[in-house]
Amino acid sequence: MMLDKVIFLDRDGVINDDSPDYIKRWAEFRFLPGSLEAITLLTRHGYHLIVITNQSMIQRSMVPLEVLEEIHHRMRSAVAGAGGRIEAVFFCPHRPDENCDCRKPKPGLIFQARQQYGIDPAQTVMIGDSAKDIRCGRNAGCGATILVRTGNGEAAERELAAERIHPDAVVADLLAAARLIVAQTIGPGKKG
């Protein structure tokens, strides 16, 4: 299957509340205000959403893989119940010290999605709340990057500014990002 109009989303801090202790079970997963509405809005406008997330709690032996898969299944079901759709979830299970190719800011997860779905990264948007997310989008050749101020976004904004890395947009939250994309201000189908 080939996908166009693809939006890559980080998970924690973008779709749901982040936690320094990780989201280790569904009971700890809480959608951020407006995130379900944002995903539904993008879905209704023909965008395909793919979650790209680091989940080192797997290799840290904090939870088994089955628990992470259950969290993602329930997240996707809740999104579907709200009228949205998450096409796929790609995650990196590795710790930072393992130096894998899939842990953001490396672009491995986006490359996996590209291969599976025939995606042209230049026609995609990466939305995240961390400097790693924005670097990942840039490293993968995404057409645009959007930093949201939820989660770690405010700290990431300072970190990126210090490194002279500028996302294509910085917005309050996922809903604001979705509205920019749907208005074709940024991303696939952008009005030139």
Choice among 10, 133, 168, 173 that is catalytic: 10
Choice among 12, 18, 129, 173 that is catalytic: 12
Establish whether 21 is a catalytic residue.
no
Establish whether 4 is a catalytic residue.
no
What is the rounded (10 degree) CA torsion for 31, 33, 34, 39? -10
Residues annotated as catalytic (active site), given as ranges: 10, 12
